[in-house]
Amino acid sequence: MNPATLKLLIASVAVALILAMSATWKIQDWRYSGRLAEQGRLHLDDLNKISSAAAAQAQAEQGKRLALEQRLIANDQTHHKELSDAQTNQARLRDRLATTDVRLSVLLAKDPASCNAVPPTAGAGGVVHGGARAQLDPAHAQRIIAITDAGDRGLIALRACQAYAEEVSRR
């Protein structure tokens, strides 16, 4: 073999090897591209499932929050009505005391020296049974009513706070 033929043969083998390697790379590229596309599709499916689950969970939590808000609003309305009714009743009682339509009285302590075994009879103007009673001054009666009004409002507010804490802690 002459050197020109040998060079041509080596060049031909080199070109054939380069073409074979190029074809191999192309085939590998097609195979891996298919695998990568499949992995990408599977990954996208997983992400879609995760986002759907997260959206469902967020919607469920929002539903729970809305239900809690509605229960709290209903409790607030109930306690507001109780407070309003108590204030109305207290105002009526104060008005009746002011017009002397109603008088507050207190039971007087019995005198231990007195041996009255028979209770006094009720007078013609009232049906008070029991021991002797003293009527309170209207100003004192007003103060007593104001104190009981504040106590009633405090108890209603306490029940409202307890109901709120119970509802929130249930969540």
User: Which residue matches tokens 């109603």?
Assistant: 102
Range name among 3-12, 29-38, 54-63, 101-110 with the lowest pLDDT average: 101-110
For position 29, what pLDDT does the model report? 82
For position 149, what pLDDT does the model report? 87
Amino acid at 9: L
| Average pLDDT for the chain | 83
pLDDT band at 60; cut points 50, 70, 90:
very high
Distance CA 150, CA 143 (A): 11
- Which residue ranges make up each domain of the chain? 71-107+132-171
Distance CA 155, CA 87 (A): 13
pLDDT band at 78; cut points 50, 70, 90:
very high
- For 123-131, what is the mean pLDDT? 55
136: DSSP letter: P
